[in-house]
Amino acid sequence: MSSPWTPRRPGSPDASRLLIERAHDEFVSGNSADPRLADIRGIVRDSWRRSLESLVGVEGLPPLALDAEQLERLRSEHPLAGVIDMIRGLLMPGDPTDSGVVVAVGDAAGRLLWVEGDAHVRTLTGDMGFIAGADWSEDAVGTSAPGTSLALDRSVQIRGAEHFNRLVQPWSCTAAPVHDPETRRVLGVIDVTGGEPVVSPQAQLLVDATARAVEGELLLSRMRARAQSRAPRRASPRSAPVRATLSVLGRSKALLEVAMDEGEHVAEVTTRHAELLLMLATHRQGLSAERLAELVYADPGATVTLRAEMVRLRKTLERIAPDLAPASKPYRLDVPLETDAEQVLSLLDRGAHRVALAAYRGDALPESTAPGVEEYRDNVRTALREALMAEASVDVLLTFAETDAAADDVELLRLCLSMLPARSPRRAGLVARIERLEA
């Protein structure tokens, strides 16, 4: 089968490319009023602005976010690991090493997990740090198809000189995010990098179609796994979860996702069971019955009620992931349980503020009144707020200001106001909002 791409190296600069390069140079040097900027696509200008505000360098290699061991572990755990062959077949039919392009698959934080394709192109793009394990989020490397696609949660094409980093400007790329077919959270990104053919309308259609095909395959795989789990079968050795995640942000009922060797299981759990699981997930050392009752029921003496609820929780988990059922004396989880809130905090630690904010879908179990959950909820919100106010760009802060977590935060609004240019049209709205809150 022939390749959908025409193998060729990026050509020599034409008039349009030179205009973009000069506009880029004026922009990064501080001349945002240069008339040539009016000819730059809005999506690119906005990304350049975010890149500049995030203090992304216009030259230099992207950070290497993963060492070899971390890369191997994330590859084995990532939901897209099982569809890599499908992505190769759709985007690089025939001999991938002679396809004329490089195809990369990254995670939701913009870290490249797989980079494959034309041997010659891979050698050249490797020189600019386009390698597995590198961080290609917009906060790390500026405007690029994979990073900007994740920032905007849509497919994006970036042509040559539109890249913020000059080292990347010889290349063009098209990327599209991949979503969980049930929760719609971003799982990762698919990118094709090469010469001019990779930014044609047909290329964008192909990459978009590949992302949708991948989402469809993920859903079918889950449905097959669920059907198999319901079918009678002979007893066999129990397989431990490969990955277990509890999603609590913005949800009254948590979503428990368990990836096992034979497939994935996704189930909603009640608020009470979510409270218990969240407390055990965040207290890895274990909790006494009295302490767990205090965290969940606000009464250390409510151990009888706690034990009865733990029996019900174990029965629920036996149907989904038996090894995740809590042990006792002390109550604990012997299998690590990740939470989407911890993932947000991890993104903040790595400086991926925009991605972290996108992953923050609201307070943890907002309807819960359990003391332990209320404390955890406040801790996550405070950590997010402090990290963003200390390091994030004004665009990220303005986005955060629109969330429920920051609806009445006058200090945050004043910080945004101080960071905006004097003639920014956003200032009037901020001033009015501050005056309304202080009235």
Cα–Cα distance, 377 to 267 (Å, whole number): 22
What is the spatial distance between Cα 354 and Cα 61, in angstroms, rounded to a whole number?
A: 20
The owner of tokens 């106001």 is 417
Return the H-helix or E-strand segment holding 37: none
pLDDT of residue 318: 85
Are 221 and 142 in contact, with CB atoms under 8 Å apart?
no
Q: CA–CA separation, 341 vs 361, rounded Å?
A: 9
Query: What's the CA gap between 100 and 193, in Å, rounded?
Result: 9
Query: CA–CA separation, 421 vs 339, rounded Å?
Result: 38
Rg (CA), the chain: 24
Give the start-to-end residue ranges of the domains of the chain.
59-222, 237-378
The pLDDT confidence band at residue 7, using thresholds 50, 70 and 90, is very low
Distance CA 51, CA 299 (A): 50
CATH architecture for residues 59-222: 2-Layer Sandwich (3.30)
Q: Is the pLDDT of residue 237 over 60?
A: no
pLDDT band at 9 (very low <50, low <70, confident <90, very high): very low
E runs forming strands in 92-171:
102-107, 112-117, 156-158
Q: Which of 1, 2, 174 is nearest to 102 (CA)?
A: 174
The whole-number average pLDDT for the span 275-294 is: 94
143-161 residue pLDDT tens: 999 999 999 999 999 999 9
To which residue do tokens 């042509």 refer?
Answer: 159
For residue 269, what are the β-bridge partners? 254
Q: How far apart are CA 244 and CA 280, in angstroms?
A: 13
Q: What would the two tokens of residue 144 be?
A: 């690029």
Write out pLDDT tens, residues 53-93: 999 999 888 999 998 889 999 999 999 999 999 999 889 87
Look up the pTM and report it: 0.53
Residue-level pLDDT at 99: 82
The 10s digit of each residue's pLDDT in 340-363 is: 898 888 878 767 777 788 888 889
